[in-house]
Amino acid sequence: MDISTTTQHKPKQHKYIWLTAGLMAFALLVFWLNNPSIPTLKIAELETATVQQGPLDIKIPVLGEYASRYERLISAPETAQVSEIFLRAGAEVTPTSIIAKLSNPDLDQQLFESQSQLERMHSEFAAFKLQKQNEQLNFQAELADMQSQIQAAQLDVDVNQRLAQQGIAAKIELERAELRLSQLQKRLQFAQYRFEKQQEMHKLELEQQQIQLNQQQKQVTLIADKVANLTVTAGIEGTLQQLDIELGQRVSQGQAMARVGSKSQLMARINIPQRLAERVQLGAQVNLKHPQGAFSGTVQQLGSVVENGFIIAEVHFNEGAPANLRPAQPVNALVFLEHLENALYIAQRPGLSPLGTQPLYKKTAQQAQLTQTQVRFGELSEQYLLIHSGLKVGDIVITSDLSQWHNFSQLALDNDKL
């Protein structure tokens, strides 16, 4: 073998060895940078929750305020001027409590003139009635006179009949007496017919006069009511919630002056998010929270207008509502949405976000390490959080804050017992 040839190949071999070693070191460095060692956590220091499955009532928390169930808007009955104010906003009122008095001289003058006209018509009606009664009495006197004449004629006929039978009186006298009696009887019949018609006519005339009198009485009552309404009363029992007038102010007919709300008969107005409005039904149960204890109610009305992303729902209370509720007090409530027969859920813990997706670490009973998964949560129903995806029943979820390890897909545990 040629020694010189062997000596020439040795530098090349050393060069290849050093190159291979460098590449391996670089590969190890890259592997170490991309795959740092997996952290190990102490299981005793972690908070956990177990995924459950079963029936669950979905109830959403909402905010709102108590409000009067019955409210009365008081508006100006006529164009008038505010002459007196007796109560201010916040005062407790009864239906007859006087809030303010208005003045309208023109309306007072109309009432005086209509009352004078009514009194004049009463006098005219009384005189007219007496006049008609007098006419009927005169006619009745004529009828009585005619009846007397008929009696006399009947007596004359009877006398002539007896004389004619005895041959003393001529037959012509009897016939003349009978003719006169017949004429008087016909006149009496006609007079009685006229008297009946006169009574009917007088009755109609009196009814017409009475109608006019009643119309005038209604006119007086109408104006008197307008004058009486110038004394503004509460109308219902409760609280004077708002007063929009000042002393000396001139108000127009129909202008809002005050608002009164019931104090003992209250309801709750709650704000339901627009995204859930279609899932809330009339009659849905509502649990209202109060320092004296929770009580319940039902949704009786749902608003049709969206305001600032919410729909207003009116809740009427069931029995057991506290007696010290006041209008405009804030209220926290839970509104029933639906019942899920086979829901997947977990107990709510700090850091878990409803209606969102977040990375969490889970552990099954067979695993000695934690695996990161993306969990999508649904509604928060009281203390339970609905799970849409990312977990299954029996999974053990770490609820402690592990955000500093979220770049690791897995974490090691120092103990496989939870």
Ordered DSSP codes for 331-382: EEEEEEEEEEEEEEEEE--TT--TTSEEEEEEE-TT-SEEEEEEEEEEEEET
Give the type of residue at 214. N
pLDDT for 114 beyond 50: yes
Q: Place 8 in a pLDDT band, splitting at 50, 70 and 90.
A: very low
Please, which residues bridge with residue 273 across strands?
310
Please, are residues 286 and 61 in contact by the beta-carbon 8 Å criterion? no
**Pairing mode of beta strands 369-381, 357-363:** antiparallel
Q: Which residues, 6+ apart, have CB-to-CB distance to 383 below 8 Å? A: 347, 348
40-60+341-413 belongs to CATH 2.40.420: yes
> What are the backbone dihedrals phi and psi of residue 18, each rounded to the nearest 5 degrees, phi first?
-65, -35
Q: Place 367 in a pLDDT band, splitting at 50, 70 and 90.
A: low
Give pLDDT, residue 197. 84
70-104+231-260 belongs to CATH 3.30.70.270: no
d(C-alpha 185, C-alpha 188), whole Å: 5
Average pLDDT, stretch 366-383?
A: 84
pLDDT for 132 beyond 90: no
341-350 per-position pLDDT tens digit: 999 999 988 8
pLDDT for 15 beyond 70: no
Taking alpha carbons only, the member of 339, 368, 335 closest to residue 62 is 335
pLDDT for 46 beyond 80: yes
What number of other Cβ atoms are within 10 A of residue 2's Cβ?
7
Q: 160 or 62, which is more confident?
A: 62
382-401 per-position pLDDT tens digit: 889 999 998 989 888 888 88
Please, are residues 346 and 387 in contact by the beta-carbon 8 Å criterion? yes
Strands of 231-233's sheet, edge to edge?
Answer: 231-233, 98-103, 80-85, 250-251
Give pLDDT, residue 248. 92
Same fold? 40-60+341-413, 70-104+231-260:
no
Give pLDDT, residue 189. 85
H or E, element range at 30: helix 3-34
Give pLDDT, residue 417. 47
Rounded (to 5) percent helix, strand, coil in the chain: 40, 35, 25
Please, are residues 251 and 80 in contact by the beta-carbon 8 Å criterion? yes
Q: 179 or 32, which is more confident?
A: 179
pLDDT for 7 beyond 70: no
Give pLDDT, residue 224. 93
Give pLDDT, residue 21. 55
Give pLDDT, residue 2. 43
| Domains in the chain: boundaries | 1-35, 40-60+341-413, 70-104+231-260, 105-220
**Pairing mode of beta strands 266-273, 310-317:** antiparallel
Please, are residues 243 and 93 in contact by the beta-carbon 8 Å criterion? no
Share of the chain above pLDDT 90, in %: 30
Average pLDDT, stretch 73-85?
A: 92
Structure tokens at 329: 């007090």
pLDDT for 169 beyond 70: no
Q: Which residues, 6+ apart, have CB-to-CB distance to 57 below 8 Å? A: 336, 338, 339, 340, 381
d(C-alpha 315, C-alpha 96), whole Å: 29
User: 135 vs 128, 129, 196, 216, CA distance in Å?
Assistant: 11, 10, 13, 27
Give pLDDT, residue 365. 60
Helix (H, G, I), strand (E, B) or coil at 85: strand
175-226 per-position pLDDT tens digit: 777 788 888 888 888 888 888 888 888 888 888 888 999 999 999 999 999 9
d(C-alpha 248, C-alpha 67), whole Å: 31
Give pLDDT, residue 52. 92
H or E, element range at 118: helix 105-166
Helix (H, G, I), strand (E, B) or coil at 234: coil
Taking alpha carbons only, the member of 398, 394, 386, 377 closest to residue 345 is 386
298-307 per-position pLDDT tens digit: 999 888 888 8
Give pLDDT, residue 19. 59
Q: Report CA torsion sign: 400, 405, 411, 414.
A: negative
pLDDT for 363 beyond 70: yes
Please, which residues bridge with residue 270 across strands?
64, 313
105-166 helix and 171-229 helix, angle to the nearest 10 degrees: 170
Q: 150 or 341, which is more confident?
A: 341
Structure tokens at 190: 């006609």
pLDDT for 38 beyond 80: no
Give pLDDT, residue 30. 46
Q: Which residues, 6+ apart, have CB-to-CB distance to 382 below 8 Å? A: 59, 334
d(C-alpha 237, C-alpha 417), whole Å: 66
Q: Report CA torsion sign: 352, 357, 359, 361.
A: positive
Q: Lowest-pLDDT range, 23-27, 103-107, 227-231, 341-345?
A: 23-27
